[in-house]
Amino acid sequence: MEHWLKKTLLILALYFFDCRGEDAVNQQSGAVTAFEGGLVTLSCNFTTSSASPDLFWYIQFTRDSPQYVLRRDRYSEGANSDEFKKRFDSRLNSTFVPLTIQRLQLSDSAVYYCALRPTVTTGYTAPLKKMIV
């Protein structure tokens, strides 16, 4: 494999619609190619009737469930998951909330989603077992 290809990241951003009346998010679709050590910004535009929307970014690695990355709102700095505090950032503007990833690593290759509501729960859930009587 070519040396430059080994250091190339493949980041996917999919359309993810979260509609509630006039609420919607729209992401760029397809692959984004970037180089290890570099910087990438993923776009997410939104429309909402809410005066104080919360915008969320999620990451989904191959064969994994989506994981919470960060939340942004208009009246605070929001919050990042501990795992994504150092290199992942976003600023909520009037109609967009881009995700910037700095010092890219090959392990950042994944699918990224933005949403207007929390879509992944992080609380403890006990496994369900079928009881045989």
Mean pLDDT by 10 residues, the chain (133 residues): 50 46 84 93 93 93 93 91 95 93 95 88 44 40
- 107, part of any domain: yes
- Residue 121 forms part of a structural domain: no
Domain presence at residue 88 = yes
pTM of the model: 0.74
Q: What residue numbers bound the domain in which 31 lies?
A: 3-115
For residue 109, give the nearest of 61, 65, 68 by alpha carbon: 61
Report the distance separating Cα 72 and Cα 121, nearest Å.
Answer: 17
Helical (H) or strand (E) element with 116: none
Any domain includes 38: yes
Question: Tokens in use for 79?
Answer: 């919050």
Q: Is residue 123 included in any domain, yes or no?
A: no
| CATH code of the domain covering residue 40 | 2.60.40.10
Query: Is 129 a member of any domain?
Result: no
User: Kind of pairing, strands 111-115 and 8-13?
Assistant: parallel
Task: Flag whether 130 is in a domain.
Answer: no
Asked, for residue 73, whether it belongs to a domain, the answer is yes
CA distance 19 to 107: 31
Number of domains observed in the structure of the chain: 1
